[in-house]
């Protein structure tokens, strides 16, 4: 996958973790327009608080990010450490510290091994100036925690005859719940797009993708999605409410959707990716409420893990979602590569083949369809099953 023009990235092991990569850098040769969305948790990590300040002018030129330690609930020292990460990055790259975005992910409540990170920043500066074909993979690996695979996606499009590239990396596996997740995502593009249009596009994409995934119902202290646009494609500036903006929005949606689905698929201990599609709702709000509530239901998740077509749990989750609908109209279907089966009709039991349902639920990607038969609105969300392995992973996360 290609990087957009004018971007350099890398990732290394600096000693936060025992052996795996744990420090990454993104550098734009020119200052980029920037937009970000942060965690809704009232308990925000130090790097989130710092980066919220640094992005107030919607301009960023570099990102420094570590994994293995969230630098959350670490008091004044945590904020000072985040600031020192920004200062060191600015120093080695010749930037103002306010143009550096800082992010962290990992264990909460443990001070950063700052000296390791500061030495690592010097090593990263050398890496980004000596490009390697594995740089993007190294970056994606450096932000992983309990992830089982790196998450990268790239999309090219043409506007005004100019090639524009969007490339995103993400991490996320546990503590994932709308809105957003214990996740980080960094999206780079060489598009020339106004600050207001970039912010609008990111918020719209996040609402449709990252805000529609759930693994375990917990919202993290460090959630961050950042997009940088450095104008190197030399296209005519993209502004809101234009055809160019629509093309850009569509491409960005494709990038964030892929990354969001990969986060849901990689849920801690997960064996299946589950899509919950709610159709024919009275309002989009109702559709989203029901879809997200079903996605985070532990009873639904365990039924999917057990390959049990327990449609009653789906109806129950819809019922406590807070959405407005008529339970007596609801139909429920299960679908996968092995077929499709209806298990509920008008809110009541419908005879179906348990053998066929079992076959459908044996697949690695499952779709649950909930037809409210009450309007024209719809919503999709994504989650995963809940396995024995999830408890094992989180029972010993700090050790």
Specify the pLDDT at position 180: 36
Does 36 have pLDDT greater than 60? yes
DSSP code of residue 245: H
Confidence class of residue 389 from pLDDT cuts 50, 70 and 90? confident
Cβ neighbours of 298 (radius 10 Å): 13
Please state whether beta strands 273-281 and 365-371 pair in parallel, antiparallel, or not at all (unpaired).
parallel
Taking the alpha carbons of 381, 382, 386, 391 in that order, is the dihedral positive or negative? negative
Specify the pLDDT at position 271: 85
What's the Cα-to-Cα distance from 5 to each of 55, 79, 256, rounded to whole Å? 22, 33, 20
Determine the Cα–Cα distance for residues 240 and 264; give it in Å rounded to an integer: 31
182 is catalytic: yes
Q: With H, G, I as helix, E, B as strand and everything else as coil, classify residue 384.
A: strand
| Number of residues in the chain | 399
Q: Radius of gyration (Cα) for the chain, nearest Å? A: 22
Determine the Cα–Cα distance for residues 349 and 192; give it in Å rounded to an integer: 55
pLDDT digits (tens, 9 = 90+) for 94-127: 999 999 999 999 888 899 999 999 999 999 998 8
Stretch 149-169: mean pLDDT: 96
Cβ neighbours of 303 (radius 10 Å): 20
Higher pLDDT, 222 or 275: 275
Determine the Cα–Cα distance for residues 279 and 331; give it in Å rounded to an integer: 10
- 170: which strand partners? 151, 185
Encode burial over 352-389: b for 16+ CB neighbours within 10 A, e otherwise. Answer: beeeebeebbebeebbbbbbbebeebbbbbbbbbbbee
Specify the pLDDT at position 49: 96
What's the Cα-to-Cα distance from 305 to each of 172, 279, 309, 365, 390, rounded to whole Å? 20, 24, 10, 11, 12
Does 382 have pLDDT greater than 60? yes
Two tokens, residue 255? 């990038």
Question: CATH 3.60.70.12: does it fit domain 7-265?
Answer: yes
Specify the pLDDT at position 259: 95
Determine the Cα–Cα distance for residues 384 and 386; give it in Å rounded to an integer: 7
CATH fold of the domain at 273-395: Ubiquitin-like (UB roll) (3.10.20)
Residues 145, 165, 182, 221: which is the catalytic one?
A: 182
Q: 223, 177 in Cβ contact below 8 A? A: no
Confidence class of residue 215 from pLDDT cuts 50, 70 and 90? low
**Most distant CA pair in the chain, distance:** 69
Specify the pLDDT at position 130: 81
Specify the pLDDT at position 178: 39
DSSP code of residue 178: S
Specify the pLDDT at position 333: 98
Confidence class of residue 182 from pLDDT cuts 50, 70 and 90? low
Does 219 have pLDDT greater than 80? no
Stretch 5-22: mean pLDDT: 96
What ranges do the domains of the chain cover? 7-265, 273-395
Does 257 have pLDDT greater than 80? yes
């Amino acid at each position: 996958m290609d990087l957009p023009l004018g971007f350099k990235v890398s990732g290394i092991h600096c000693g936060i973790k025992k052996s795996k990569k744990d420090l990454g850098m993104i550098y734009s040769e020119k200052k980029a327009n920037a937009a970000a969305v942060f965690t809704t948790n009232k308990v925000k990590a130090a790097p989130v608080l710092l980066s919220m300040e640094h992005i107030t002018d919607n301009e960023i030129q570099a990102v420094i990010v570590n994994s293995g330690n969230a630098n959350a609930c670490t008091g004044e020292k945590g904020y000072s450490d985040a600031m020192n990460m920004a200062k060191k990055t600015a120093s080695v790259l010749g930037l103002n510290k306010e143009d550096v975005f800082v992010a962290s992910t990992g264990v909460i409540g443990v001070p950063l091994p700052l000296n390791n990170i500061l030495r690592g920043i010097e090593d990263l500066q050398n890496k980004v100036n000596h490009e390697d074909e594995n740089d993007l993979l190294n970056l994606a690996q450096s932000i992983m925690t309990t992830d089982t695979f790196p998450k990268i996606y790239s999309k090219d499009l043409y506007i005004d005859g100019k090639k524009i590239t969007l490339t995103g990396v993400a991490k996320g596996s546990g503590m994932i719940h709308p809105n957003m997740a214990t996740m980080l995502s960094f999206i780079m593009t060489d598009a020339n797009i106004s600050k207001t249009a970039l912010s609008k596009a990111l918020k719209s994409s996040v609402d449709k993708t990252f805000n529609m995934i759930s693994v375990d119902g917990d919202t993290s202290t460090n959630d961050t999605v950042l997009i940088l646009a450095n104008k190197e494609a030399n296209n005519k500036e993209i502004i809101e409410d234009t055809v160019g903006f629509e093309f850009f929005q569509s491409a960005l949606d494709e990038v964030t959707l892929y990354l969001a689905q990969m986060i849901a698929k990689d849920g801690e201990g997960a064996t299946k990716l589950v899509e919950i599609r709610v159709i024919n709702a009275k309002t989009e709000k109702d559709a989203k409420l029901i879809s997200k509530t079903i996605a985070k239901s532990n009873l639904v998740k365990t039924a999917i893990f057990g390959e049990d077509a327990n449609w009653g749990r789906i109806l129950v989750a819809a019922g406590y979602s807070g959405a407005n609908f008529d339970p007596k109209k609801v139909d429920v279907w299960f679908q996968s590569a092995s077929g499709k089966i209806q298990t509920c009709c008008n809110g009541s039991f419908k005879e179906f083949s348990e053998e066929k349902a079992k076959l459908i639920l044996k697949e690695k990607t499952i779709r649950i369809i909930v037809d409210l038969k009450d309007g024209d609105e719809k919503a999709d969300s994504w989650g995963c099953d809940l396995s024995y392995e999830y408890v094992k992973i989180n029972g010993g996360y700090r050790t």
